[in-house]
Structure 1
Amino acid sequence: MRAALRAPGFRRLVLVWTLINFADSLLFLTIAIWVKDLTDSDSAAGLVLACLAAPALLAPFTGHLADRMSRRRLVTIAGLVAAVVVLALLVTDRLWVIYSVTLVYATIGYLLAAAQSGLVRDLLPDEHLAPANGLLTTIDQGLRLLTPLVGAGLYTSIGIGPVVATTAVLFAVAAVGMTTVRLTETPPAPDDRSVTAGFRHLFGTPGLAGMTVALAAAVGATGLTNTTNFAAIEVGLGKGPELLGVLASLQGVGAVVGGLTAGLLVARFGELATAALGLTLLGLGAATTIGTSLALICVGLVAAGVGVSWTVVAFVTLRQRLTPPTLQGRVSAASNMAINVPQLTATLAAAALILVVDYRLMIGFTVLVILAAATSVAVQRVDEEVPA
């Protein structure tokens, strides 16, 4: 991690990404709470979360854009656009405006994630990618653990205006900061304009294809736990749903620890072994929610958080290494879509299944899928030859 931070451009990128993540984490939960207060409707508030997830379907186009222009310039422009767009929330509280702003703001988030992959790849040599991704994951998880509480607290005490204004300022400062990041960017390939090239590379590269399918299955299965967690708390533990916030925080702590240690594991064992170990921890951690021991569930969720970060860092590092610079944006966006859409589908399905299926059976199914994915990743092989 220290070696990666010695690169001046990467140090600046870390600062920019911290500001972007702070702005993102500050606002996304607060908007849903605001809509709930405005409408007193769970459905209306839930649509905010749907708007945040929906832009994953635009991944082929956001990834294509990230590969067709300077990624440094793209982050700068996107940050400024985000700053201006969120300010619309200061003008009106009409639902269609709130939903529209949320859609644009979420789309920019996916665009920035696609650009980040290429920037990191251009800034650092292969041996520094894993610790760099570990640091970025740690920042992401750490801010998502704390910042939503800050945003909700500000909203509760002084209203939506200061939250929106702070978010806009953070995006603007990040955009300006991006102009100071010095790097030599890989120019776009002039004859490569395919929108689907990212998917073809992702599923056509040995090792990378297998890990993508395994992660899509494992992460998709975890979508069931978005519903079963409530049943595990209320039925299994006999506690109120507010305990979910505490348990989510414990998993977040584990994710931070995982982000800090993932680089060491990848350097020692490689990406596939690290991902297999991470998925195993995730599966075993999820299995504890079948039981009725709060202490065991707490330990299991910390382990699951560690496993999530190990898996994500290993996958992102392998994807970056095995993807040519001119395809980084499209492959990053394609992988986000391949993994996030199954999870969203499973989350929607779980809402219906929980009415007719025992939650413990659903958790058991989730655990089996995750452990099967871990086994699949463990036996994969990687073709280390990377196309130019």
Structure 2
Amino acid sequence: MRAVLRERGFRLIYLGMAVSLLGDASLLLIPAILAKKLTGSDGAAGLTLFFFTLPLCLSPLFGYVIDRVDRRRFLIAACLLSAAALTPLTAVTGGDTLWLLYPVSAAMGCSYAAISGALSGLLKSVLPEDLLAEANGALQTTRQGLRLVGPLLGVAVYTSSGIGAVVLLDAGTFVIAAAAFAALPKPAPVPAAPRGRWREEFSAGARHLAADPFLRRAAGAFCLMFALAGATESLIFAVIDHGLGRAPEFTALTSTAMGVGAIIGGLCGATVIRCRGELFAIGTGIALYGVAVLLWTVPAEPAVLGAMTMAGAGLTLAGVARMTLVQRRSPGHLVGRVSTAFEAMAGATQLLSLVAGAALVSLVDYRLLLAVVGLTICCAAAHALRGRTPAEHPRPG
């Protein structure tokens, strides 16, 4: 991590993202907690995650824009708009205003999709290829590691000062992030590819994803994982309520446990990728997550918290490898579209499982659902692990 932190451009990117992610982590659980407290429904809480995931289906549209504008300016605008989009949360005071949670969750999803896609392209343009895995590891470690303090901070601020204070905190971090991106030197322009029809340009990321065998296998593994894994967003509330007999606020501790694991996964990510390749790291990370979901069926706090730590390590390791694979195997002018196409494919399957999970959690024993989800995720890991690693083939420039 020291090598990449010597790069001034990355230090500014890291500062902006770290501050913004602290605010995001503080707000992460608040819509779901509010929905659970106002309705008592696990499904209502899970629906906030559904609306957060919904904009991922629009990711190719964000990618189309990202690859045609200055990515630094795009990030500045996205951060400022994200800060403004949070303000309706302050009006949620009861059942009659509960509906506001859902458009705000959707706006947060738009922010995530847009900023993630632009960041992936910006990193490729400011860093040499041999530092990409290290940079992604640092950012993912920070993103997930802030679960150690973010959710606890958010719940503490919400409990002591109300929803308005949490919104102010997150909005302020977006403004600071925008300032950090504004301080970045303008990166060298990305060589533009010849432009074709708008439909061809719009679908270029998805077509590259389908044509590259390693990106295609990674996308298949993530899609299979999320085909059922999205249900865990509702199931975790059932685990906490019915399995452990704890209040919804206990999610702050489970998220913190995920943060501990995420630090481990992020710190190991660059080393695993360097030694065994991106697909091995993706498969190993997904396998850890699958085993963790199976362990959620154990009705004991140490087992659940330990499994959450394992889940955090697995998801972060897989995430670092996915971002690095996309950056290394995509030409500069396509990174935004390939990244957002990947998000859209995984997000669409996650969206379906979120809906199914919210509906089934009140009809089927949550332990049976967790067993099915965990085994499916393990199958996704096996898909990623079969065959050779991307390191054996040249990468596009």
Q: TM-score, normalised by structure 2?
A: 0.86
The CA deviation string for residues 228-264 of structure 1, in whole angstroms up to 9 with x for no partner, is: 44554555x5533555543342222111211111111
Residue 78 (1) aligns with residue 78 (2): yes
Match of 1:240 in 2: 246
Give the CA deviation at 1:309: 1.2
Match of 2:210 in 1: 203
Comparing 345-354 and 200-209, the one that deviates more: 345-354
Task: Please list every run of 5 or more consecutive structure 1 residues that lacks an aligned counterpart in the other structure.
Answer: none
AA of the residue aligned to 2:188: T
When residues 200 and 276 of structure 1 are mapped into structure 2, their CA distance, relative to the original with a 3 A threshold, is same
Residue 332 (1) aligns with residue 339 (2): yes
Give the CA deviation at 1:340: 2.3
Question: C-alpha distance in 2, partners of 1:349/1:85?
Answer: 28
Match of 1:265 in 2: 272
Question: C-alpha distance in 2, partners of 1:295/1:98?
Answer: 32
The 5-angstrom pairing of residues 187-202 of structure 1 reads 187-189=191-193, 191=195, 193=198, 194-202=201-209
Question: C-alpha distance in 1, partners of 2:235/2:84?
Answer: 39
Match of 1:346 in 2: 353
When residues 380 and 158 of structure 1 are mapped into structure 2, their CA distance, relative to the original with a 3 A threshold, is same
Aligned with 1:173 (options 172, 176, 179):
176
Question: C-alpha distance in 1, partners of 2:299/2:162?
Answer: 39
Comparing 98-107 and 163-172, the one that deviates more: 98-107
AA of the residue aligned to 2:160: S
When residues 84 and 188 of structure 1 are mapped into structure 2, their CA distance, relative to the original with a 3 A threshold, is farther
Contact 2:218/2:384 (8 A) holds in 1? yes
Question: C-alpha distance in 1, partners of 2:74/2:366?
Answer: 44
Question: C-alpha distance in 1, partners of 2:130/2:271?
Answer: 11
AA of the residue aligned to 2:77: I
Contact 2:288/2:314 (8 A) holds in 1? yes
Residue 384 (1) aligns with residue 393 (2): yes
Question: C-alpha distance in 1, partners of 2:293/2:36?
Answer: 30
Contact 2:151/2:255 (8 A) holds in 1? no
AA of the residue aligned to 2:152: L
When residues 47 and 354 of structure 1 are mapped into structure 2, their CA distance, relative to the original with a 3 A threshold, is closer
Question: C-alpha distance in 1, partners of 2:173/2:284?
Answer: 36
Match of 1:123 in 2: 126
AA of the residue aligned to 1:116: L
Match of 1:23 in 2: 23
Comparing 71-80 and 84-93, the one that deviates more: 84-93
3-state SS, counterpart of residue 184 of structure 2: coil
Residue 157 (1) aligns with residue 160 (2): yes
Question: C-alpha distance in 1, partners of 2:303/2:276?
Answer: 28
When residues 97 and 259 of structure 1 are mapped into structure 2, their CA distance, relative to the original with a 3 A threshold, is same
Give the CA deviation at 1:64: 0.9
Contact 2:45/2:234 (8 A) holds in 1? no
The CA deviation string for residues 328-385 of structure 1, in whole angstroms up to 9 with x for no partner, is: 1111111112112222311321344345544333323223222222222112333733
Match of 1:63 in 2: 63
Residue 107 (1) aligns with residue 129 (2): no
Question: C-alpha distance in 2, partners of 1:33/1:288?
Answer: 23
Comparing 41-50 and 51-60, the one that deviates more: 41-50
Q: TM-score, normalised by structure 1?
A: 0.88
Match of 1:219 in 2: 226
Contact 1:322/1:384 (8 A) holds in 2? no
Aligned with 2:329 (options 310, 322, 334):
322
AA of the residue aligned to 2:374: V
3-state SS, counterpart of residue 68 of structure 1: coil
3-state SS, counterpart of residue 239 of structure 1: coil
3-state SS, counterpart of residue 193 of structure 2: coil
How many corresponding residue pairs? 386
The CA deviation string for residues 139-163 of structure 1, in whole angstroms up to 9 with x for no partner, is: 1112244223323322332233333
AA of the residue aligned to 1:385: P
When residues 273 and 145 of structure 1 are mapped into structure 2, their CA distance, relative to the original with a 3 A threshold, is same
Question: C-alpha distance in 2, partners of 1:41/1:254?
Answer: 30
When residues 44 and 333 of structure 1 are mapped into structure 2, their CA distance, relative to the original with a 3 A threshold, is same
Task: Please list every run of 5 or more consecutive structure 2 residues that lacks an aligned counterpart in the other structure.
Answer: none
Comparing 44-53 and 201-210, the one that deviates more: 44-53
When residues 189 and 24 of structure 1 are mapped into structure 2, their CA distance, relative to the original with a 3 A threshold, is farther
The CA deviation string for residues 149-185 of structure 1, in whole angstroms up to 9 with x for no partner, is: 3233223322333333333332222212212112324
3-state SS, counterpart of residue 208 of structure 1: helix
Contact 2:64/2:337 (8 A) holds in 1? yes
3-state SS, counterpart of residue 29 of structure 2: helix
Give the CA deviation at 1:50: 3.6
Question: C-alpha distance in 2, partners of 1:278/1:367?
Answer: 13
Aligned with 1:133 (options 136, 147, 163):
136
